[in-house]
Amino acid sequence: MKNEDFQQWFGQAVDLTIHQKKQVFNVLSDNAHQELTEDQLGEVKHCPHCASSEYTHWGQSNDLPRYRCKICLKTFNVLTGTPLARLRHKSLWRHRFLLSPTIHKPKHLSGIVEADETFFLESHKGEKGLSREPCKRGGKAAKPGISSEQIPVLIVRDRGGVTSEAVLPRVTSTALAEVLTPILDSDAILCSDGHRGYQAYSRESGISHRPINVSAGHRIVDKAFHVQNVNAYDSRLKLWMLRFHGIATKYLDHYLGWRRWLDSHTKTMDPQQFLTEVAGANGIYQQLMQT
């Protein structure tokens, strides 16, 4: 991806205000990676390999100062351990920093938790050596409705706005259990449509389940149980995805994590905090990679 293309892509973060977008473009222009490194990632304080504070300058590489640890004898720079490490072309950082929100998913959802499955057309965009003719960008499925061409994505969201998602092989009780069991509190109440996979999962796990028969026109049960919040999130997600004209299935979870991150952060962050967060400078990314 060229720098101009990256700037155009970044400008599509519709959650940012016009003023914030201008600031982002200023940060990303010209020597953006060097400015980001010096001004926002900060100075090296310890070795990212062994955490030793004993290190010495060890020349320079790719316009960045390099250091050598006196204890483990490994070399590093300020980007080591971040999504930008070993990235020769700094305009190619999109998928690097998308790894951080993908890995850093919420660990607990509590109270009333809404669940819904949404579907994305399977895409092999960017893959080589395919035995079939490539599809047009943002193409349509050959068969109407849900089919093997559609990739199911589970979205779960509690009333506090905590959201998680997962790409599923199929919408079955087994697949749902792998995703939901580790993150749902034992006293959570699961709200979903009447899909039999949710019903089987609730029986097997003991989680309270309130199915909503949306197809019959039922929207709210007992004035509290519904799936309107998760459905609204699905709509925002689908609308946001349109700008990419089809997502390669192998990267789908990256974009799902990005959308979740935008939904929960951009209203409270300025552009500099945004760049620092996605670059992993706050230490979250490094901690995750070491666990």
d(CA 223, CA 225): 6
* Same domain? 133 vs 67: no
Domain count, the chain: 2
Q: How far are the Cα atoms of 138, 149, 199, 245 from residue 145, in angstroms, in the given order?
A: 16, 10, 22, 19
Quick one: pLDDT at residue 19? 66
Q: Has residue 236 got a pLDDT over 80?
A: yes
Q: Is residue 30 part of a domain?
A: no
Q: Where are the alpha helices (DSSP H) in 37-114?
A: 94-103
Quick one: pLDDT at residue 31? 45
* Same domain? 122 vs 236: yes
Supply 16's token pair. Answer: 């940012």
* Same domain? 127 vs 204: yes
Q: Is residue 266 part of a domain?
A: no
* Same domain? 52 vs 138: no
Q: Is residue 246 a contact partner of residue 139, using CB atoms and an 8 Å limit? A: yes
Quick one: pLDDT at residue 15? 53
pLDDT digits (tens, 9 = 90+) for 40-73: 456 788 999 999 999 999 998 877 889 999 999 9
* Same domain? 162 vs 240: yes
d(CA 260, CA 193): 22
Mean pLDDT lowest among 70-79, 242-251, 281-290: 281-290
Q: Has residue 145 got a pLDDT over 90?
A: no
Q: Is residue 283 part of a domain?
A: no
Q: Is residue 140 part of a domain?
A: yes
% of the chain at pLDDT higher than 90 = 42
φ, ψ of residue 211 to 5 degrees: the values are -75, 145
* Same domain? 60 vs 172: no
d(CA 214, CA 202): 19
d(CA 138, CA 149): 13
Quick one: pLDDT at residue 1? 42
Q: Has residue 171 got a pLDDT over 80?
A: yes
Q: How confident is the model over 128-150, as a mean pLDDT?
A: 63
Write out the residue range of the structural domain in which residue 65 sits.
44-77
* Same domain? 155 vs 195: yes
Q: Is residue 157 part of a domain?
A: yes
* Same domain? 52 vs 176: no
Quick one: pLDDT at residue 201? 96
Of 77, 100, 129, the residue that ends a domain is 77
Q: Is residue 158 part of a domain?
A: yes
pLDDT digits (tens, 9 = 90+) for 197-231: 999 999 999 999 999 988 788 889 999 999 999 99
* Same domain? 145 vs 240: yes
* Same domain? 237 vs 141: yes
Q: Is residue 173 part of a domain?
A: yes
* Same domain? 185 vs 64: no
φ, ψ of residue 230 to 5 degrees: the values are -70, -35
Nearest to 225 by CA among 191, 259, 255, 198: 191
> 109: helix, coil or strand?
strand
Q: Is residue 20 part of a domain?
A: no
Q: How confident is the model over 192-200, as a mean pLDDT?
A: 93
Quick one: pLDDT at residue 132? 59
Look at 214 and 249; give whichever has higher pLDDT: 249
